[in-house]
Structure 1
Amino acid sequence: MSAPLPEIRGLPSWLLGRAAARGRALVTEALAAEGLKMWHHVVLSAVFDLGPVAQAELGRGIGLDPKDLVGVLNDLQAGGWVVRAPDPKDRRKNAVSITEEGGRLLKRCERAARTANDALMAPLAAAEREQFMELLIRISGTDG
């Protein structure tokens, strides 16, 4: 007996969704080994890139609801990976910075995420991986 839903399973959107779910699962598992969830990694990476950064600007930059951002930042601060202090540009706001330990954790998470993505792309040859990434960038409407 053949698999159900042959029409749906042949749609690029279906296949991309399945590949994305597999990639998310691999990265989620890799980050869990470091004690983090996906949003923790995203926020930690953004703070590293932008910090010190106003909390509101951080949320807008990564597209995370302010209430959800507060929870993630609370977790990261409790772990000693970020600090919040009054923003020197506007003391009514908080600025978020990464700590040294947060930087070390981020490096470990980046390695773990790369390893997980290598596992995702393992069925492809190097040239196919490069082409696949170029195609994904084109159809996603982003510049990478």
Structure 2
Amino acid sequence: MSATDDAAGPERLGHLPSFLMTQAARHVHRVVFDRLDAADARGHHYRVLAALEEYGPSSQIDLARRCSLDRSDVAGTVDALADRRFVERAPDPTDRRRNVVSLTRRGRNRLFDLDRRLTEAQEEAFAPLDDAEREQLVSMLTRLVQYHTHPAQIAARPS
């Protein structure tokens, strides 16, 4: 680790939520990436498997929307998952120009394993926080994400 990795930065940054969130996100990302990498997986693999498990068979376009991924990233992800038999592709019976992607039993097992690994990563990344603090953090982050992705819905809510 270099000296700059340990540096807290100028003091004036230490009270800015945006700076602290960026610093925390960098560390959390590393923990999650390392856990997934040890399983030869990536975050977008998990997102696609989780979306298929939750929503059922989907087109790649629907997966891109549900997972907030670019269509080309979904295509590559589906290819990688299909090569390992975690998903299957079949022609859409209503539109032969597109494929429907579905989760296989092997894919469900993979998702279960990745769920376990991500739970471990959460435990490691958020170890300094107790359960109530984690719930509060999730609540606050959810509000921030909703505000920035659906500002009209947030503004319409009574306070």
TM-score by length of 1: 0.89
Q: Does 1:29 align with 2:34?
A: yes
Percent identity (aligned):
36
- In the other structure, the counterpart of 2:16 is 11
Moved more, 3-12 or 87-96: 3-12
Q: Report whether the alignment pairs 1:64 with 2:83.
A: no
Matched residue, 1:93: 98
How far, CA to CA, are the matches of 1:3 and 1:137 in structure 2? 26
CA distance in 2, matches of 1:50, 1:88: 18
Structure 1 residue runs without a partner (length 5+)? none
Q: Distance in 2 between matches of 1:71 and 1:138?
A: 32
1:40 to 2:45 alignment: yes
1:80 aligns with 2:85: yes
Q: CA deviation at 1:111?
A: 0.8
- Note if 1:102 corresponds to 2:130: no
Larger relative contact order (Cα-Cα within 8 Å, sequence gap ≥ 6): 1
> What CA distance in whole angstroms lies between the structure 2 residues aligned with 1:130 and 1:38?
22
Aligned CA RMSD, in angstroms, stands at 1.8
TM-score (norm 2): 0.81
Q: Counterpart in 1 of 2:140? A: 135
Q: Which amino acid aligns with 1:29?
A: D
Q: Distance in 2 between matches of 1:77 and 1:14?
A: 39
**Which residue does the alignment assign to 2:124?**
119
In 1, distance between residues paired with 2:135 and 2:65?
Answer: 30
- What count of residue pairs does the alignment treat as equivalent? 142
